[in-house]
Structure 1
Amino acid sequence: MEWRDDYSVPDEDSPFTSWLRGGTVDYSYMEPWTQLMRRLIGEGRTVRRVRVVTEPTSPYIQWEHATTVLNEEAGEEIRWLPRHRLPEGVTFPLAGNDWWLYDGRLLSVGHLDSEGRGLGSEIVEDPDTVAECVRLRDRLWAVAIPHAEYKP
């Protein structure tokens, strides 16, 4: 689950700036991630991501949308959910931080500073918290828009 409208991580600063200027972008920094996705998908695993975004979308989200083809080519499934289309009553668990759910039993919660830079991750195995996130993931996945159909 991704909740933020900007992820200014150092590895992406130069490619993002190049994209903003309409220049050639070197996406080689994504190779470790896409290789991991191919390996996981090859092992029969599923990797899905919901990106909750504010509309109109930020330049960063527009760039992220443009690069998502690389994630999907590697086997990741990505859907987009405009924030104004969140189902009524949805709350953001884990203090609104992004999280990854592994095998329906473990969460990796990302922590960011006030400028969106990564501070590290926390592992959460509490069954009630994990169950809450599984329910939310399933609920939002069902209403989110597949990448090919979403136009920021």
Structure 2
Amino acid sequence: MAEEVTFEDLFRQAKHSAVHLEMRDGYMRSDPSFVSWQRDPDSVLSDWDPKSRPWLALMQEITGRGVEVRRARVFSEPMSDYLRFEHFLTPGNVAAGEQVRWLPRRRASGLALPGNDFWLFDDSLVVFLHFTGEGELSPEGDEERTTESSAVSLCSTAFESVWQRAVPHEEYRRA
């Protein structure tokens, strides 16, 4: 039996790109960093440091070898508390090599978007992410992987459409 490829392995195996479309107004509200940030935003400043945040170290590693990582967020305005938290932490993502853009939901009307958030690796593998209504990872399985050409095409087109309309993190000002 073949060993399962982990989510982290997918980034390490990426040859040229990993793109992520986020379309929820909140995720993992039980995250201790989010809870702490709600009490005191300065309490999570260390979350900008790759030494304390493994995600940033991974992004530095893969972008450092030339893989382009882009993240686009479709969101409601005014931003939810959770999205304000993500906005607060995004400079760390950008410093680690991610490109991040923001698209207010009212500017996404007319775009064909899949029903779930996803990562698309090298324009060939889609990993759909599943969450509960409260934004926690789904207990029925938090991801679904496919190489089906219609899903890959839908996700690639959706991401690029959002990316074209979205505002780079450095230029976006919260309403």
State if a TM-score over 0.5 links the two structures: yes
Structure 1 partner of 2:64: 42
Structure 1 partner of 2:38: 20
Distance apart, 1:115 and its partner CA:
1.7
Structure 2 partner of 1:2: 22
TM score, norm. by length of structure 2: 0.78
Distance apart, 1:87 and its partner CA:
4.5
Q: Work out whether residues 52 and 83 of structure 1, in 8 Å CA contact, stay in contact via their aligned partners in 2.
A: yes
Q: Work out whether residues 113 and 155 of structure 2, in 8 Å CA contact, stay in contact via their aligned partners in 1.
A: no
Q: Work out whether residues 72 and 166 of structure 2, in 8 Å CA contact, stay in contact via their aligned partners in 1.
A: yes
Q: Work out whether residues 9 and 118 of structure 1, in 8 Å CA contact, stay in contact via their aligned partners in 2.
A: no
Whole-Å separation in 2 of the counterparts to 1:151 and 1:97: 26
Cα 1:30–1:50 shift into 2, 3 Å: farther
- When structure 1 is superposed on structure 2, of 127-136 and 68-77 the one drifting more is 127-136
Q: Is 1:55 the counterpart of 2:73 in the alignment?
A: no
**Aligned partner of 2:91: which letter?**
V
- The counterpart of 1:91, out of the listed 99, 112, 116, is 112
Structure 1 partner of 2:129: 110
Runs of 4+ in 1 over 4 A off after TM superposition: none
List alignment gaps of at least 5 residues for structure 2.
1-20
List alignment gaps of at least 5 residues for structure 1.
none
Q: Is 1:68 the counterpart of 2:125 in the alignment?
A: no
Structure 1 vs Structure 2 CA RMSD: 1.7
Query: Deviation string for 1:69-105 (max 9, x for gaps)?
Result: 01011000000000001152x2321xx2110000001
Cα 1:117–1:151 shift into 2, 3 Å: same
The structure in which a higher percent of residues are helix is 1
Whole-Å separation in 2 of the counterparts to 1:87 and 1:140: 10
Whole-Å separation in 2 of the counterparts to 1:30 and 1:123: 29
